[in-house]
Amino acid sequence: MLEAFALSDMGCVRTNNEDYCFIDAERGLYILADGMGGAKAGEQASRIAVETVAETVRLAAQRDSQVLIFAVEEANRRVLEAAHNDSSLEGMGTTLVAALALDEELAIASVGDSRAYMLDYLGLHVITDDQTWVNEVGRPLGLDEESLRHHPMRHVLTMAIGASAPLTINHYRVPMPKGNLVLICSDGLHGVLETAQMEQILNGVLGGGSLEESCSNLIEAAKKAGGPDNVTVVLMRNIG
């Protein structure tokens, strides 16, 4: 059995929140999206994507990782359709991470650079692979991390919901033993905090702290670091 909590904040610079998240504890479904686009288009893209995944999983006759992948593909189709039907939404898109609890495992599907992490006895480590220029081009070229941190292409996504069809979806199956913690977050968190900082905050949960408190502490740490973007976190813990 998983317990979960989610929290989102505009950050210190943005005037609107293009992140969107959703928890369906009954179905063991956890979703986060980080929208992009002019005016309110980013907000629309993230909301459409998250609501589509939630609806598709809810109506599915089966419950497995393939359902989650199909739901993400359907989210892409609907975001593209919405942009086609409304010129004010042209160019909108969103990242997406969705996790579905399956017995003692989590099925995870991701598009873009929002991430899922696992905190276990080895520490905090990332599960997902960023679909970004930095990860798919810069690192293979041999650029060092300091150069990548300041590279003009560092924010460029190579894949996003609403950007193309067909869509490349990264998907994973990870064990979820009792006591383990999963963090899903937008780049408003992992883009400003080092993994060690996030791990230190999350260790409070392992010490008996609440998920709500840890979500709040993560967001406050991101805001103290400048909070240049919207920041959203979803925490899940297997309580057996």
pTM above 0.95, yes or no: no
Q: pLDDT over 90 for what percent of the chain? A: 77
What residue has token string 């099925």?
A: 107
Instruction: Check whether the bond before 175 is cis (ω within 30° of 0).
Output: no
Q: Where are the domains of the chain?
A: 2-238
The CATH number that domain 2-238 falls under is: 3.60.40.10
| Structure-model confidence comparison of residues 140 and 104, the more confident one | 104
For 198, phi and psi rounded to 5 degrees? -65, -40
**Distance separating alpha carbons of residues 112 and 130, to the nearest angstrom:** 6
**Distance separating alpha carbons of residues 208 and 219, to the nearest angstrom:** 19
Q: Which helix (H) or strand (E) holds 105?
A: strand 105-111
pLDDT, one tens digit per residue, over 83-93 is: 999 988 988 99
Q: Phi-psi region for residue 155, left (φ > 0), alpha (ψ -120 to 50) or beta? A: alpha
The pLDDT of residue 208 is 77
CA atoms within 13 A on the CB side of 16: 13
pLDDT-wise least confident of 6-10, 24-28, 145-149:
145-149
